[in-house]
Amino acid sequence: MTITERHSPTSVLAPAVAQGLWRLLVRWADRRKQRLDLDELDDHLLADIGLNREAARREAEKPFWRR
């Protein structure tokens, strides 16, 4: 491997892209889990965080890629 090959933009960019993609996938999985957990809270706990059942259900039904 030559110096040019070791320091090419793709050799530096590929790990950064993979790391960014991994972070995105982890964030999406976490968001989905939080929404599923929210949907399982009882009305008393929802009231504690200022939500009603309808608002919790709407949030839980959002696709994981949406904020």
pTM value?
0.73
Report if residue 4 sits inside a domain.
no
Integer Cα distance of 22 and 61 in angstroms: 24
pLDDT at 30: 98
pLDDT at 40: 96
pLDDT at 55: 96
Report if residue 67 sits inside a domain.
yes
Report if residue 50 sits inside a domain.
yes
Integer Cα distance of 32 and 38 in angstroms: 10
Report if residue 9 sits inside a domain.
no
Instruction: Compute the chain's Rg from CA coordinates.
Output: 20
What is the band of 52 on the pLDDT scale with cuts at 50, 70, 90?
A: very high
| pLDDT digit string, tens, across residues 1-41 | 555 556 666 677 788 899 999 999 999 999 999 999 999 99
What is the total count of domains within the chain? 1
Quote the domain boundaries for residue 32: 17-67
DSSP code string of 6-64: HT-HHHHHHHHHHHHHHHHHHHHHHHHHHHHHHHHS-HHHHHHTT--HHHHHHHHHS-T
